[in-house]
Amino acid sequence: MAAGGSFYGVVMAAADAIVPDDKDWTWVLSKPCPECGFDAATVDLAAIATMITDNADAWVSVLEGDDVTVRPTSSIWSPLEYACHVRDVFGLYDYRLHLMLDHDDPLFPNWDQDATAIAERYDQQDAFVVASELVIAAEQLADSFAEVDGVQWKRTGRRSDGAAFTIESFARYMIHDPIHHLADVHA
């Protein structure tokens, strides 16, 4: 998360508006993603922490590249914007994971990723700072998942749209997002 930022943004006008992603991506839990090749059924939960930190390392490499602020089209995020999103996803999922560990079947507060991108000015952030923040958020989430044990994997939580998760399905669902967005920036 950006310094001083929050997970709940206020929508502001943008010259190059991104088309909001309103897809329900929970289907990736039941079949492979044809866009990035991710297959949730093959995820080893014992490796989830390493998958998170390895993904963060790959984002650091992306952010060291040229033209990280350039969008491929006006309606697709730049690599920097995707990296900001991934950083915030890591922070949000750490928060949600702890809700699931600390409360019985919590309802997650809604998060509008597109409003956050505008409010937090993803397009204006410093790539070096984002890389550092992304690694820190990834390490925190990885540490949190590394502590999940035994029956805790079966604890539950729900999104405001009704999607229900166990920590196991939540982990598989979560890791798709940063993997998919790495494929997006390399496409």
Angstrom distance (rounded) from CA 89 to CA 94: 8
Beta-strand runs (E) in 7-155: none
Angstrom distance (rounded) from CA 55 to CA 41: 19
pLDDT reading at 163 higher than 70: yes
pLDDT > 90: what percent of the chain?
A: 82
Q: Around 63, how many Cα atoms within 13 Å sit in the side-chain half-sphere?
A: 26
Angstrom distance (rounded) from CA 157 to CA 164: 6
- Mean pLDDT for all residues in the chain: 90
Residue 75 pLDDT: 85
Residue 169 pLDDT: 98
DSSP character at residue 166: E
Residue 136 pLDDT: 98
Residue 16 pLDDT: 55
Residue 89 pLDDT: 98
Residue 139 pLDDT: 98
Radius of gyration of the chain (CA): 16
Q: Backbone phi, then psi, for 126, in 5-degree steps?
A: -85, 125
pLDDT single digits (tens) 46-104: 999 999 999 999 999 999 999 999 999 888 999 999 999 999 999 999 999 999 999 99
pLDDT > 70: what percent of the chain?
A: 88
Domains located in the chain, CATH noted: 45-186 (1.20.120.450)
User: Which H or E run contains 77?
Assistant: none
Residue 9 pLDDT: 35
Question: For the residues 118-140, what does the mean pLDDT come to?
Answer: 97
- Tell me if 141 sits within 8 A of 97, measured CB to CB: yes
pLDDT reading at 6 higher than 60: no
Angstrom distance (rounded) from CA 146 to CA 140: 10
Question: For the residues 94-122, what does the mean pLDDT come to?
Answer: 95
C-alpha to C-alpha distances, 96 to 13, 45, 111, 128, nearest whole angstrom: 29, 17, 11, 27
For helices 79-102 and 48-63, what crossing angle results, to 10°? 160
Residue 24 pLDDT: 79
Q: Around 137, how many Cα atoms within 13 Å sit in the side-chain half-sphere?
A: 27
pLDDT single digits (tens) 46-61: 999 999 999 999 999 9
Residue 51 pLDDT: 98
